[in-house]
Amino acid sequence: MSKIHKFYIEPILRTYNAFVVKPILAIESSCDETAVAILEDGQHLRANLISSQIAKHRPFGGIVPELASRCHAEIINTLIDQALKDANIKLRDIHAVAVTHGPGLVGALLVGMAAAKALSGSLGIPLVAVNHLKSHVYSNFLSPSPVFNFPYLILLVSGGHTQLIEFKSHTQLKVIAETQDDAAGEAFDKVARLLELGFPGGPAIQKAAEQGNPEAYFFSAAKHSDRFSFSGIKTAVALFIKKNPSASKADVAASFQKAVVDALVQKTLMAAEAQKFERIMLCGGVAANAMLRKTLARACAENGFEFSMPDLAYCTDNAAMVACAGYHQLEHGGPSDLNFAADPNLELHEWTV
């Protein structure tokens, strides 16, 4: 450890060990939402702000990385100031800072990390680097009175990831199955573009599907015993639209959505039964999909599994879940080394502290 690093980190470690973490400020900037939250004692949310960039990216039909980074830089300090006002506290009352360091867009991640490191350094308080995927898991801990008994089988479904994760404890997460190609959220986005439904794709598909017949057409996601796959169904929809240009967009959207949801639910139940899980947890941006929430909840009830899913407000990217993950990470593993870097391809590892 260098003299400078030792001079900087030792007072922070002493500070961390001297108190139970109370208000923790968290920053999320992995993609196109700039978010800041303040969480107290790992459970009481004092502030939760999200600045969406959807309107700015919509003309391009997707996220423009350089634009996302610039938007984060323009709003991050304003959000931090407003979060402190909402929580009715001062900067000196913040006892730790948590920030997403991956996966995500590298330029976007760097904006949030720069702000978090500046706060940690200037205030002399602990800093914790949080895995974005892990923070989605902790979105389930933000309900008013969460009760959890490990282990859980987690279905994490987002724009970039579709995974089944064994959640043994706050320090033990292990990916046991994932997609071999497109993530479910990515398939939603691509089919929305094929149907010219607009951006973002997930909500657009759901809205169109509400007016359609899910039994109108037959689509099916590939069946594998140990992984997900959604590239085939995307291709099937593309070919169907080409051959049937006058087909109802609502019916196509509804039929496609049903096929994806069925695949997710069936795979999750199969894994839970095979590995003797009693509890299933849903998380990730696609966890906001109404059909997925309803279908998985019903399937768990019918098959005797306990089930947990986050409130809709905590499904998509937010800093509240980063704060919750950061709180437990500090409690069980302590602060991060201050030299951590942005990792756009960060994965969940078997023993993630």
* Mean pLDDT, residues 146-172 taken together: 90
d(CA 63, CA 105): 10
CB proximity list for 290: less than 8 A, separation 6 or greater: 206
Which has more confidence, 100 or 41? 100
Amino acid residing at 168: K
Is it the case that residue 38 has pLDDT exceeding 80?
Answer: yes
Report pLDDT for 148: 73
CB proximity list for 311: less than 8 A, separation 6 or greater: 142, 143
Q: Compute CA distances 266 → 71, 72, 94, 293, 341, whole Å.
A: 39, 38, 44, 13, 38
d(CA 53, CA 55): 6
Report pLDDT for 149: 85
Token code pair at residue 50: 């999200």
| Residue range 253-269, pLDDT digits in tens | 999 999 999 999 999 99
Going by their DSSP bridges, the two strands 152-157 and 162-169 should be labelled as antiparallel
Q: Which of 101, 2, 73, 87 is nearest to 45 (CA)?
A: 87
pTM of the predicted structure, to 2 decimals: 0.90
| Residue range 200-215, pLDDT digits in tens | 999 999 999 999 999 9
Helix (H) or strand (E) holding 116: helix 106-123
Report pLDDT for 17: 43
* Mean pLDDT, residues 334-352 taken together: 86
Report pLDDT for 140: 93
List, as own/partner pairs, every contact residues 237-240 make where C-beta atoms lie below 8 angstroms and the sequence separation is at least 24, other chains included.
Answer: 237/191, 237/194, 238/194
Is it the case that residue 145 has pLDDT exceeding 70?
Answer: no
DSSP 302-337: HTT-EEE---GGGTSS-HHHHHHHHHHHHHHH-PPP
| Residue range 278-305, pLDDT digits in tens | 999 999 999 999 999 999 999 999 999 9
